[in-house]
Amino acid sequence: MKGFTIIFARVIYAITWFYLAPIIPYLSSSLSFPISFSGLVPFSFFVGSGSMQIPSAYISSRIGLRRTMILGLSVMAISSLFVGNSTNLYMLLISYFIAGVGASMFFSSGASILAILNEKRTSTALGIYNSAFSLGGIIGLNWIFLDQHIGFKFSSYLLSALLFISIFINLRLPNHFPNWSTIKDKKILYLGIATSGVWGAYYVIGELFPTFATVNLHIQITQSSAITSTLLIFSLIGGLLAFLGDRGNRVKLLLITSILGVIPSLLLYTRYYFLGIVTIGIFNELAISILYALAASNRGSNAGIALAEINAVNIILGSIIQPIASLSGIYIWVISTILGIIPLVIITKIKQLA
């Protein structure tokens, strides 16, 4: 497979998504903001990333995929320096929002170049791309150990340095120019809507299961958080299985893996909750990898715009599931399962993209 420099950058990019999560209690104390405001920290990043997916795709059509990817990594590297030097909540939120903007520039451009370099093994390449995100997420969730040893400021500087290294090793990638008209393809819109529930259900589990397990399953919060972390580990495995998409009908495989990546949420009510976490981790990630392959396959340099549109729709619609599910009390997994499955009926509008 070609493009391992992109995979390295994807790992570092993913660290940026997760590295603040475990240290939010410390930031709450050091920056003097209520712990009830802690949700604003990751939210600021999601807003930056989600709102700029489509604009970033347009930028890539004007300056090229490689330049957009490098620009995104540069924005993330600089914003990490400001995150580490934040003196109040507002500075932290603005800095992390800007990091999200940079992330939006990297995601679709990097994936598109990777798909072009591996056009005969698109599913495999994008599966590894997603596995790299899971690996980076695992590292990010454990970044707190660096915070404890060298301090939050210097650990943020280290992340910035790794992002600058990612820039340097990717400077020689081809700079393809996608066609903006790809944004009008209805099949891409259908794919994004159909899988928004699958995307959303995954993040509901990642963010809300620790609290649910503590309150309803009487599991210690540290144990439930560790269990949730295994979601990323098995997601890594799911991404590595994406080569299956290069060997069969991707639309059918997307439907099957999507169902298997959502319905096991119901196991979270039972003593078999760990099996539910494992199954969801593998099949949800496999489904998203197949989704990206469907969007990117046979589109050449236009793959980035297709991926940006899908990711934007996934984030915008999928994020709605979390507040609805959290307000559902004990029915949280029933509601998230229903909302995850219903949009899949739209796949019937997609005849054959593979």
Q: How far apart are CA 309 and CA 312, in angstroms?
A: 5
Residue type, 112: S
15 and 138 share one domain: yes
Question: Of the residues 142, 169, 196, which one is the last residue of a structural domain?
Answer: 169
Please check whether residues 158 and 10 belong to one and the same domain.
yes
Q: Which residue reads 């320096």 in tokens?
A: 81
pLDDT at 56: 92
Least confident segment among 11-20, 54-63, 293-302, 313-322: 293-302
Same domain, 71 and 139: yes
Query: Is a pLDDT exceeding 70 seen at residue 354?
Result: no
Mean pLDDT (whole number) for 295-312: 80
Residue 141 and residue 286 share a domain:
no
Tokens for 197, please give them. 């529930």
Q: Are residues 210 and 162 in the same domain?
A: no
Q: In the prediction, which pLDDT does 245 show?
A: 79
CATH number of 38's domain: 1.20.1250.20
Provide the domain count of the chain: 2
Q: Is pLDDT larger for residue 261 or for residue 29?
A: 261
Summarize pLDDT for 169-219 with one digit per residue, the tens: 999 999 999 888 778 788 888 999 999 999 999 888 877 787 788 778 887
What pLDDT shows up at residue 41?
85
Q: What is the pLDDT of residues 223-248, one digit of tens each?
A: 766 777 788 899 999 988 888 877 77
- Whether 199 and 286 share a structural domain: yes
- On whether the CB atoms of residues 64 and 72 are closer than 8 A, the answer is no
Q: Do residues 194 and 149 both lie within one domain?
A: no
Residue 221 has pLDDT above 70, yes or no: no
Write a three-state SS string for 16-56.
Answer: HHHCCHHHHHHHHHHCCCCHHHCCHHHHHHHHHHHHCHHHH
Domain that holds residue 209: 180-349
For residue 348, the tally of other CB atoms under 10 A from its CB is: 11
Whether 36 has a pLDDT exceeding 60, the answer reads yes
Q: Which distant-in-sequence residues (6+ apart) come within 8 Å of 127 by Cβ?
A: 238, 239, 240, 241, 242, 243, 245, 286, 289, 293
Asked whether residue 12 is domain-assigned, the answer is yes
- Where a domain ends, among 169, 193, 213? 169
- Say whether both 103 and 123 belong to one domain: yes
The reported pLDDT for the residue numbered 225 is 61
pTM of the model as a whole: 0.83
Kindly state whether residues 261 and 200 are assigned to the same domain: yes
Same domain, 227 and 323: yes
Average pLDDT score over residue span 276-301: 87
| Same domain flag for 127 and 269 | no
Flag whether 175 is in a domain: no
pLDDT at 229: 77
- Checking if the pLDDT of 351 tops 80, the result is no
